[in-house]
Amino acid sequence: MIRLERFSFTYPGEDQPALSDLSFEVPAGQFYGLVGPNGAGKSTLCYALAGMIPHYFKGTLSGSLTVAEIDIAQSSLGELAGTIGLVFQNPFNQISGSRFSVRGEVALGLENLGVPRDQITDQVDETLEQSGLADLGERSPFALSGGQQQRLAIASILVMQPAVLILDEPTSQLDPVGTSEVYALLHQLVGQHETTVLIAEHKLERLAEFTDNVLVLNQGRLLANGPPKTVLTDPLIEEIGVQPTRYTQAARQARARGLILKKDEFPLTLQDAQEFFDDAAV
């Protein structure tokens, strides 16, 4: 569904490429995570996948990037809207500001696509239901909590039924409850609609719980591409400045102090950690 071949991108006026020589594929219906330290190029990659690079941010490109069989560089943002959805950090900035109700806000994208009114009504109702916003339809988009606003931002994209959904740290401004709400929605989405999802995220435990595969980016390069359990417990990610989960850290500490000897695979989640220490205790 997403395919990059030796894809590189340099922002105008910079000597270092922000993305360099990336090659990977995301099969349809998969849930992918994207991790990396600050400045690794996660946002840049998200923008490229959604066509904002090169259609909004100019710069130098090489290699190829296709999403849903569309050659991004040869397309236009208008054509991509509705096929590739993009959600980012700050929910406040994703609210259009031109609609006075949650319903109206969700409908905006479909109105721009010229979808007939009856169909808009149906799709909006369905999406509000799915995102748990059905009771808030008449509320002002600004009168919502952070988690609700972010679900509104996602709903406003989902309603257009994109084949691919790209999210750039959508939970970084949310508390744990808001974060769980967002992940629950994404999980349901991948399960029911076979949407292909790629999410840039700092909260590794969430990736461990929900994703099929994780990409690790550092200084614009792809360092690893594999299942969360292997990739996210690899000491490599700590070396580049990504903090492992506290379970991984605890286990590594225990091993460094000689409390545990036999294990060399580290736990990622609470459940892993329980098994890990249970085994080790024997």
Contact positions toward Mg ion, by CB under 5 A? 43
Closest CB to ligand ATP among residues 115, 222: 222
The entry of other proteins, Mg ion, ligand ATP, none near residue 112 (CB within 5 to 8 angstroms by kind) is other proteins
Shortest distance in whole angstroms from residue 42 CB to ligand ATP = 3
78 binds other proteins (CB under 8 A): yes
Looking at 73-81, 211-219, 239-247, 254-262, which segment touches other proteins (CB under 8 A)? Answer: 73-81
Q: Give the tokens for residue 99.
A: 């609609």
Residues 5-44 that bind ligand ATP (CB under 6 A): 11, 14, 18, 36, 38-44
Residues 232-261 that bind ligand ATP (CB under 6 A): none
Closest CB to ligand ATP among residues 40, 87: 40
Among residues 249, 234, 247, 246, which one has the least CA distance to residue 275? 247
Neighbours of 281 (CB within 10 A): 8
Q: At 47, which helix (H) or strand (E)? A: helix 42-49
* Count, residues near other proteins per rule CB under 8 A: 46
- Label residues 15-24 b or e (16+ Cβ within 10 Å = b): eebbbbebee
Is 1 within 8 Å of 28 (Cβ atoms)? yes
Closest CB to ligand ATP among residues 159, 197: 197
Q: How far is CA 229 from CA 33, 48, 210, 212, in A?
A: 12, 27, 11, 10
**List of residues contacting ligand ATP (CB under 6 A):** 11, 14, 18, 36, 38-44, 57
